[in-house]
Chain A
Amino acid sequence: MAPSKEGINVKKLTDEELIFRFQEGDILSYNEIVARYKDRLTNYIFRYVGSYDECDDIVQDTFVKVYTSKHLYKEIAKFSTWIYTIAINLAKTKVVKQQKYKTFSISNVYDDENKDFDLPDEAFTPDVDANAKFLNAHIQKALDQINENYRELVILRDIEDYSYEEIVDMTGLPMGTVKSRINRGREKLQELLKDIYNEE
């Protein structure tokens, strides 16, 4: 990214400064926001939805929403909280729509061993081997099996590595609820990933 017209290097600016500059019409600030958050949001949404194509759509929709609704952001919360909230809300609506119009997949007929998984081959770094692919698929399958409420919080805490306070800000849930849900999700995941621990 090139420096802006005023000669300010946008890479050194914080997220909040970028969004304020973008609110004033600086498109370079918006590009910087997209560069910072596209991978983080893709990873987060992919773990939540489980499908890479859907994840890509959701992240694109999130950035479009940020572009069109830039004036709605106010310095009450952190920008990361705001953009994550937009993304998770879009993902939730997408999941609800999918559940409403659930299509029958022929892959469900076969045993678990023959099941195919949506592996984002393009997105992975080239040095990922087959074993890592299998581990990744197994963990994703376990995440898909746990409750949505637990999954969202476990991803934020254990994969995205957000603090409890930030998660409370993002979700709007009480601290106690966040902690209990995270623990329950972890318990469930531990049960589902027993095989991995035994092998290790």
Chain B
Amino acid sequence: MLNDDDKYKALRDTLRSVPRVKAKSDFESRLMARIREAEKQPVHHAAPVVHKSAVVKSWWANLFRPAFAPALGLTVVLLITVVVYFAYFAKMNDSNPVNQQQFVSSTNQGDLVIYVKSDTSNYSSNYPREYSAANPDENQNRSSDFYYSSPHEMPSDFNARPDPKTTPGTELKPDRVSEEQRFEMQKGYEKDKEKGVDVKGEVKPLPPVMKKESLKKESKEDSKLSDEKKNIYFDDDAVKQEDKKTNAKRKETEKVKDNESEANDEIKQQTKDTNSRISRATKKDSTKTKDSDTEAEQKK
């Protein structure tokens, strides 16, 4: 930097050569006067001002201050969306549980055969080999319970038998078939079998029936499927007992219906009798009044 000073040496010399300005002769006296004035002036010690805003407000008041209005609005909207999502969309998602996969129906020569899963561990044993929707080979390999091939893999030859690998099993929701219908179907199946109608499919003892209530429970408690499921299904003896009970109930209901129909007939007859009596009486009254009118006219 000394080089820079040398570079501007001429300029520096000229600046130094400039005569120095001195203070006025009465500088000190004027300064003393100013100092005295400054000492005379009362020193204002600013009292600590307590700002009202500095007072700590309650957290509730701070929460609802105008600055937080947009944030509060957003949180409310978010809460509403979350509630709506869990209230509606969660229900919609419940319609896809594994329960739907437990009922598989297949049509063969006009007969509806319904197979109900009895055990989650071995699905393939429940279905006839020809129409089993579940591929046992894949079932072994896959971790998931069921495997349905996608619909776009359907063959072009529609006369051919449906390929169990490609055709998804026609599923029926549990609500569609009531227990009574199922019994009727089973009876029909047995009758056909006795008649010698060719009912294709593996002849097996009828699978255990699942209760509706148990199905609903199962849909809600998917997580508890593993061990508890086995206990949900009834044994064959229990099914037979239920059959007996339902038959007895039917008989009772038929009897009650017969009694009711008889009672209704009696009531109908009674009402008919009373109506006929009333009509006769009214006819008599009308004839009487007509006679009295004619008599009065004659008197006149």
A119-152 interface with B by 8 A CB criterion: 120, 122-125, 128, 132, 135-136, 139
B16 within 8 A of A: yes
Instruction: Check B195 for interface membership: any CB of A closer than 8 A.
Output: no
CA distance A39 to B28 in the complex (A): 11
Contact B21 A42 (CB under 8 A): yes
- The answer on a CB contact under 8 Å between A43 and B22 is yes
- Which residue of chain B lies nearest to A133 when distances are taken between CB atoms in the complex? B19
Q: How does the 8 Å CB contact mask read for A156-200 relative to B, with 1 for contact and 0 for none?
A: 001101001000000000000001001100100110010011000
Contact B14 A64 (CB under 8 A): no
Which of B1, B12, B19 gathers the greatest number of chain A CB atoms within 10 Å?
B19
A67 contacts B19, C-beta separation under 8 Å? no
Q: Which residues of chain A have C-beta atoms less than 8 A from B31's C-beta?
A: 34, 60, 63-64
A65 to B174, CA, bound (A): 97
Mostly, the A contact residues are helix
A190 in contact with B21 (CB, 8 Å): no
| B interface size (C-beta, 8 A) | 24
Q: Are A136 and B19 in contact (CB under 8 A)?
A: yes
Whether a CB of chain A sits under 8 angstroms from the CB of B50 is no
CB neighbours of A35 from chain B (8 A)? 28
Task: With A39-B23, A43-B20, A64-B38 as known contacts, state yes or no: A139 contacts B15, CB within 8 Å.
Answer: yes
Tally of contact residues, A, Cβ under 8 A: 43
CA distance A135 to B18 in the complex (A): 8
Q: Are A123 and B35 in contact (CB under 8 A)?
A: no
Contact B23 A132 (CB under 8 A): no
Is A18 part of the binding interface, using a Cβ–Cβ cutoff of 8 Å?
A: no
Chain B proximity mask over A92-129: 1 for CB below 8 Å, otherwise 0:
00000000000000000000000000001011110010
Whether A125 pairs with B34 at a CB distance below 8 angstroms is: no
Cβ B34 vs Cβ A60 within 8 A: yes
- CA distance in complex: A47, B20 (Å): 10
List of B residues within 8 angstroms of A190 by Cβ = 8, 11
Give the residue name and chain of the A residue nearest to B8 (CB).
A186
